[in-house]
Structure 1
Amino acid sequence: MTETNPTLDPDALEPEFRDAHEERSAETPLEPEPETAADDTTAAEPRPAEERETTLLTARLNDTSRATGSWFDEKWAAFTATPAAARWVEWVLFGLVMLVAVLTRFLAIDHPMKLVFDETFYVKDSWSLVHLGYEGSWPEGANDAWAKGDPNTYSSEASYVVHPPLGKLLIGLGMLIVGADNAFGWRITVALAGLATVALVWFIAKRMFRSVPWAAFAAFLIAIDGHAIVLSRITILDGILVMFVLLGFLFMLYDRDDQRAKIAAGVRTWWLAQDAPLNGEPTPAPVSSTMEAPAEARRGPNWGPRLWNRPWLMAAAAAFACASAVKWSGLYFLAAFCVYSLVIDLLERRRQGVTLWASAGILMQGPISFILTIPLAAAIYLATWIPWLTTTGGYYRTWAEQPGKAWEGLLSWVPLPLQSLWHYQVEAYKFHTTLDATHPYQSSPLGWPFLARPTAFSYDYFKAGDGSGCTEELCVEAINSISNPLIWWIGTAAILVLLVLQFRRPSWRAGMILVGYGAGYLPWLAVLERQAVFHFYAIVMLGFMVLAIVEVLRTIVGTKEDPRSLRTASLAVLFIGIGVVTLVSALFYPIWTGIQIPDSYWRLTQWLPTWK
């Protein structure tokens, strides 16, 4: 019994050759198409080729109803007329976007010169970790000592922490290089991670949409969004987590192209080996890239190629493992994209005419992909615990050495430090799943898509004449991890649009975006009973929301082949929208960075009552 299925899959609806066509058409001016003569008499009169082309072009230019593109399209074509010019324009745009990211993340990053919000945990834990090999304990008044430039008041007594060590090791490394006696030193790592996130969104969008302008647009939205800015200026783990998640997503994009190309090459090799030469030439592989499904399933290779050479898949697994070694929520992305890779394998084998495509994907390639990813991810995660494993003072480090604690039976061979580490992970899992502490800024995941309850990291109030520089009756210095509301709400709407369209007109781009968004959001719906959950956890969703915005706007804005009036109007609305979003970011920027503002200004940023 064969497992063929001629039903059209998402990739057949949007084949790869179309991406290349879109990329070329974005850079090459459209040639005027020949038109049918107005009457038989005119058509019968012979004309020189140059005269005929001139007449047709003049008629096209005079007929505004047939004009296509816009002024922007014409200028873009002029600026990118040669490959060298196109590269220059791309680097200029990339540089400008990164400059915006640098300014929003690094200006006055040492303000306030004190530990803010959960910096009290992660900064101090990071510093003791890189010195002791584990997180030490801190006396009362340690935060005040930090603010005065004394970071060395920790003790060798172990502290109980529930997050893996990689993010804290990176933060500690930044302090070792720059110094821990100032806020710039303890925030440099997250700021650099924030810059890397903007750059990664650029490269992801350019790869996904084959467009430099859309890549610049996506990266610019991340560069000016408050959620991303705050988590690049306050030292907690989530900004580092986002960087590794997006790095893994970029590698998955590379692997998708590599995976499909290798399956196609393997199928073609099989067909060439099976078919007899025709007139001295091999019969080409009957692989269709048309929109039409074959009338009847054709015979193909039973299983297709085994893909062991998957460097980008392994790189993605490594990146997601690093994300998991920062916070366990990175595991959801590892699992989601391993499943995604398997689905792509199934669809591509079916599209390429593999007879037993389901068995091949699940029973043959599935185990291979597992071997390539999961052991590597486990090894990387374990490697981040080496400092804890090679010392003896860490929390639970000697648990298995206590009488009656060591494993017996089939697992008795496992080294005692690894048994202790496993116990540590189990206890940390119990902590995460049973935590019922309350917080005034806790936020249910049900409200995340609507920006219902952002997290206030810091508030300091001042009055006129108190020496703070306040000239009003009441002033405030606030740090609130709220996104630009327009970016967040439009992003939520775009996700919903893609979800609906995916059922009606499947697209591989929308599919990848939805997988990433779902991996960052859906697992939290399973722990709604947990109270101590905060909106800043949703930062991992932001990059995928921005990509969803681009995917939807690409359809609305159209291409330079659209009628000139329609294309001009759509681009005008887009640029006006970008301007409005930028102004909103400018309005909110003081409450993202702790700039002192009058209380009346502060109230202007409180659009919803739940934001107070």
Structure 2
Amino acid sequence: MILETAYRWRVALMAIGVGGLATVLRFANLGSPQALVFDEVFYARGAYSLLTLGFEGEWEGEDQAFASGDFSGLTDEGDYVVHPMIGKLLIAVGIQIFGPTPFGWRFMGALLGVVTVVMVAFIARHLLRSTLWGGVAGLLLAVDGEHIVLSRTALLDIFLTFFVVAGFGLLLVDRARTRELLSRADADLTGLGPRTGVRWWRLAAIVTFGLAVSVKWSGLWFAAAFLVLSVIWDWADRRAVGAERWFAGGLVRAVPAFLATLVLLPLTYLASWIPWFRSDGGYGRHWAETHPDEGATWLPDGLNSLLHYHQTAYQFHRTLDSPHNYESNPWLWPLQYRPTAFYFQDVPDADCGAERCVSAIHAVGHPLIWWAAAIVLVYALWRIVARRDLLALTVTVGVLAAWVPWLPYAHRTIFTFYTVAMAPFLVIMLAWGLKRLAQPERLRGSWWPPGAIAVAVFLGAVLVVAGFFAPVWIGDPIPFRYWQLHMWLPTWV
């Protein structure tokens, strides 16, 4: 009776299980450390400035004064920032609710981090057609260190991750609705094939990708990759129902989506700059007025000023090559070869059972998850090339979109924590690989005992290692010697 009830409620139990675990790991002691961790110095203070001034102002004095409640360093001079403001506006929501405290400026990242875990579980459930394997994907993301650390830190990348996962999920809903229309018995399969009408879910996905770009420009790579993937889905689905001219039909139907992207994505992005347009003191807000004969003079002054601002920001990103202790080569990102240390402090007053206690936060992905996924990635690429496996392509595109565009910029100052946007798609791909091991294609869904045992052992090891690494993801005081035991590679120190 209990098993029957659990089976009936399996989807809800799966969502509650992975969501509950994600909540514990992202909200436990969220207000600690009582300091600006890593780049929170830019984004938490920027969010507070948006609430206070309506734009991002420059700060004077000691950086950590903000963390102790001293906000006197905020000036009314516009600060030169090189990222859009949606992420900072979301951080500001938490500050508005809970005040300018560490918990306040980290709240929205933790909340959307938990939501992302649940979304990934449902996306994987849909793709793999299994609540069990959807739960596996959600579990893997719930205990991944890269995602835990970025969810607990007021940086922008967790918001980028949320929006690209949401956009991908909306495209999957669009595909499911479109396949339903294509499969109707009375569908016209001649000529260019059936019409599908206005695809509102795809339009919603485009707007969501616009929000991702409004957090960080790298959202454009995800938008391009996933929207192209949606066209490939259309071709496959039209061919599957026997449409006579499936390729031309899918291509023609892609034209409205392309035009909608050219309109909706820029409009969404521009809307994210409304606080800057409404301000009088935002950096560069009146550049066009003070340079009347420069720039795109055919544009209104506000847009001309914004365009010039973006040109200088792009130049900053393109030429950023200042040496940094934790800069990393993107070719090695899937191996988490050079993770980013966000925080490290001796805690002399802590009772950790040792002479020297430290609090450390390392944005390092769960090593077993990332190293196993690197193997699955090679296998998935082989499946795509050798077998034209559409599911392998679907579970891999997000990983490639988060990784490949960075490879030409290996000379720049970039960091491994950018891979947090890769993590949701990495665990979906890994869950796909584990399913193929436990339920091989040749057995048509039946379990292969050796593979199932191997997967069970792997997942058990993942949980054990997650428990071991949790203190250096959360920043709990631990003995210095215990911290050293977590430095598995020399490049992690």
Shift of 1:255: 1.5
Structure 2 counterpart of 1:101: 22
Which amino acid in structure 2 is aligned with residue 213 of structure 1?
L
Q: Deviations over 1:173-232 (max 9, x none)?
A: 11011111x211111011111111111111111111121111111111111111111111
Deviates more, 1:495-504 or 1:336-345: 336-345
Query: How many Å separate the matches in 1 of 2:212 and 2:349?
Result: 44
Q: Equivalences for 1:153-164 in 2 at 5 Å? A: 153-164=73-84
2:398 is the counterpart of 1:526: no
Contact 2:343–2:360 (8 Å) recurs in 1:
yes
Task: State how far apart, in whole Å, the 2-side matches of 1:304 and 1:92 are.
Answer: 41
Match of 1:551 among 432, 438, 455: 432
Match of 2:340 in 1: 455
- Give aligned pairs, total: 493
Mapped pair 1:400 → 2:288? yes
1:370 aligns with one of 258, 273, 276: 258
- Could you tell me whether the CA contact under 8 Å between 1:137 and 1:158 is conserved in 2? yes
Offset at residue 318 of structure 1 (A)? 1.4
1:215-364 equivalence runs, <5 A = 215-265=134-184, 268-270=186-188, 301-362=190-251, 364=252
Counting only pairs closer than 5 Å after superposition, residues 531-542 of structure 1 correspond to structure 2 as 532-542=413-423
1:208 to 91, 116, 127: 127
Q: Deviations over 1:34-57 (max 9, x none)?
A: xxxxxxxxxxxxxxxxxxxxxxxx
What's the CA shift for 1:487? 0.6
- 1:117 paired residue among 14, 19, 38: 38
TM-score, normalised with respect to structure 1 = 0.76
Instruction: Structure 1: state its 5+ residue gaps.
Output: 1-77, 272-300
Q: CA separation in 1, counterparts of 2:490 and 2:2?
A: 48
CA distance in 1, matches of 2:15, 2:426: 20
Measure, in 2, the Cα distance between the counterparts of 1:561 and 1:494. 18
Q: Deviations over 1:421-471 (max 9, x none)?
A: 111112111111111111000001011011110000111125xxx434355
What are the residue-to-residue correspondences of 1:446-595 with 2, within 5 Å? 446-462=331-347, 466-469=348-351, 471-530=353-412, 532-558=413-439, 567-595=448-476
Q: Which has the higher mean CA deviation after the structures are superposed, 565-574 or 339-348?
A: 565-574
Deviation at 1:534, TM superposition (A): 0.2
**SS of match in other structure, 1:254:** helix
Instruction: Indicate conservation of the 8 Å contact 2:30/2:103, yes or no.
Output: yes
1:158/1:393 contact within 8 Å kept: yes
Decide which of 598, 602, 608 is 2:479's aligned counterpart.
Answer: 598
Sequence identity percentage = 39
Tell me which amino acid in the other structure corresponds to 1:424: Y
Which one-letter code corresponds to 1:214 in the other structure?
Answer: W
Q: Distance in 2 between matches of 1:302 and 1:223?
A: 47
Contact 2:295-2:308 at 8 Å conserved across structures? no
Q: Distance in 2 between matches of 1:523 and 1:401?
A: 36
- The alpha carbon displacement at 1:568 in A equals 4.1
1:583 deviates by: 0.8
Deviation at 1:572, TM superposition (A): 2.9
Deviations, residues 284-327 of structure 1 (Å, cap 9, x unaligned): xxxxxxxxxxxxxxxxx222244441111111111111111101
CA deviation map 1:9-48 (0-9, x unaligned): xxxxxxxxxxxxxxxxxxxxxxxxxxxxxxxxxxxxxxxx
- Residues 69-119 of structure 1: CA deviation (Å, up to 9, x unaligned): xxxxxxxxx7665xx653423322321222211111111111110111100
Shift of 1:122: 0.5
**Contact between 1:317 and 1:374, CA under 8 Å: does it hold in 2?**
no
Once residues 98 and 341 of structure 1 are traced to their aligned partners in structure 2, the CA distance between those partners, rounded to angstroms, is 28
Judge conservation of contact 2:335–2:371 (CA < 8 Å) in 1.
yes
Where 1:497 maps in the other structure, the secondary structure is helix
Cα deviations by residue, 1:508-566 (Å, 9 ceiling, x for unpaired): 22111221111111100121221x10000011111111111111111111189969997
Question: Contact 2:439–2:445 (CA<8 Å) still a contact in 1?
Answer: no
Question: What is the deviation of 1:600?
Answer: 1.6
For 2:13, the equivalent position in structure 1 comes to 92
Q: Single out whichever of 183-192 and 251-260 deviates more from structure 2.
A: 251-260
Distance 1:519 1:101, change over 3 A: same
| Structure 1 residues 111 and 529: CA distance shift in structure 2, 3 A | same
**Corresponding residue number in structure 2 for 1:297:** none
Closer, same or farther in 2 for the Cα pair 1:574/1:343, shift >3 Å?
closer
Whole-Å Cα distance in 1 between the matches of residues 301 and 7 of structure 2? 59
- Quote the Cα distance in structure 2 between the aligned partners of 1:429 and 1:365: 34
C-alpha distance in structure 2 between counterparts of 1:177 and 1:565, whole Å: 50
Distance of aligned partners of 1:495 and 1:565 in 2 relative to their CA distance in 1, 3 Å threshold: closer
Shift of 1:354: 4.1
Q: 2:47 aligns with which of 126, 142, 153?
A: 126
The SS at the match of 1:526 is helix
Contact 1:80–1:89 (CA under 8 A) maintained in structure 2: no
Which residue identity is paired with 1:184?
F
Counterparts of 1:589 and 1:336 in 2: how far apart (Å)? 33
Equivalents in 2 of 1:564, 1:261: separation in Å?
24
Normalised by the length of structure 2, the TM-score is 0.94
Secondary structure in structure 2 of the residue aligned to 1:112: coil
Structure 1 contact 560–567 (Cα < 8 Å) conserved? no
Q: Residues 350 and 471 (structure 1 numbering): CA distance in 2 closer, same or farther, change over 3 Å? A: closer
Query: What amino acid sits opposite 1:237 in the alignment?
Result: L
Conserved 8 A contact 1:399-1:405: no
Residue type of the alignment partner of 1:269: A
CA–CA separation in structure 1 for the residues paired with 2:143 and 2:403: 22
